[in-house]
Copies of this chain bind each other. A is one copy, B any other.
């Protein structure tokens, strides 16, 4: 049976939950992804760029990770239509293209 790995202290857990709420780029939180946010993933969590922005310390990295997830969410909500998504998030299409490429977002369509 899988058991969640809880953070070491109350404050950290509270912070994680709050950040989970604030950072989640959609209107909803996928129940499936919650366990990974609270540290239920397998293996060690080294300083690599793996994992969510919640685990990142650098503002720049966290911001980028958030932006990536946000864009993915909005793309899904708009059926992976660049133009619609760009308009929805008030970003130029060309810039959205640039971000998609730089973040390596896979356009599965």
Task: Name A residues whose Cβ lies closer than 8 Å to a Cβ of B.
Answer: 1, 5-7, 9-11, 13-15, 17-32, 34-35, 38, 40-41, 52-55, 57-60, 62-63, 65-67, 69-71, 73-74, 76-77, 88-91
Q: What chain B residues lie within 8 Å of A70 (beta carbons)?
A: 19, 22-23, 59, 62-63
Residue contact B17 to A57, C-beta cutoff 8 Å: no
Q: Chain A: interface secondary structure?
A: helix
Q: What chain B residues lie within 8 Å of A52 (beta carbons)?
A: 21-22
Residue contact B53 to A22, C-beta cutoff 8 Å: yes
In the complex, the chain B residue whose C-beta lies closest to that of A59 is B89
Choice from B17, B40, B88 contacting A34 with Cβ under 8 Å: B17
